[in-house]
Amino acid sequence: MKVCTFNVNSIRTRKDLIIRWLTEKEKDIDILCFQEIKVEDDKFPYKDFEQLGYKAVVYGQKGYNGVATLSRKDFVEVKKGLRDEYFDQQKRILSTKIGDIWVINVYAPHGDLRGGDKYYYKLDWYKRFRQFLDENFSPEDKIIALGDFNIAIEDIDVYDPELLADSIGTMPEEREAFKNILDFGFVDTFRYLYPDKQQFTWWDYIGGAIWKNEGMRIDYILATKPLIPHLKDVYVDLWPRRRRTPKPSDHAPVIAIFEV
């Protein structure tokens, strides 16, 4: 089973590139999770992906945020949002059960410099996300939580730890918030397989950062322990990011392979 997370930074802008990527490069992805689709549910290009064999569940909003999960198999159950009226004004979490595995598609808030409203919102959102996990799931369940978490959890996950110290995505309190999610019972699959490898998933558009590899690892595939014996590989596919035309997302897809 091949599972992918990809912050597409607008599904309509990136659709042609994604279709080309899925047709030419990654033909056998079973579960595909998009973040930051930036469209309402009825504006999602369902038919384009149906032609490639995917069924889609979408939790979107106009112009911002939004997540979509695509699967070659049927969805058994769907939970949209965090079941919280305040936090679900922003469409950021989509939980789908596919077979006996829960797939939680995550687009965490970006946040802001310390002290701003968006800074506090991000930390509070992470607390609510942990509560949602505790209320709805067990660490003994087969769960894959994947997406753009907007936090680089260790210094190895940024290209220049000194330059980026205490900035958005590296602040100690943000990292603690993310570790609280891991403490639910998740394993960071990439770091589990590659404890010393530096690999980024996001690069700024400015200054040719992708060509200098000046990036951050903020996109993750987490899995509960029952799935770890089945984990075979995790990798970042740079092909969709290293495009000049059509313009790529600022993220690259992360792919995990499970033998189940």
Q: What is the dihedral of CA 12, 69, 56, 255, to 10 degrees?
A: 80
- Degrees to nearest 5, angle at CA 79 with 137 and 44: 140
- The one catalytic residue in 30, 126, 148, 219 is 148
First to last CA, the chain: 7
Structure tokens at 161: 């730890």
Catalytic residue check, 194: no
Structure tokens at 95: 């939980």
Q: Cα(103)–Cα(112) distance, rounded to whole angstroms?
A: 28
Catalytic residue check, 107: yes
CB proximity list for 174: less than 8 A, separation 6 or greater: 111, 122, 123, 151, 168
- The one catalytic residue in 30, 54, 59, 107 is 107
Active site members: 107, 148
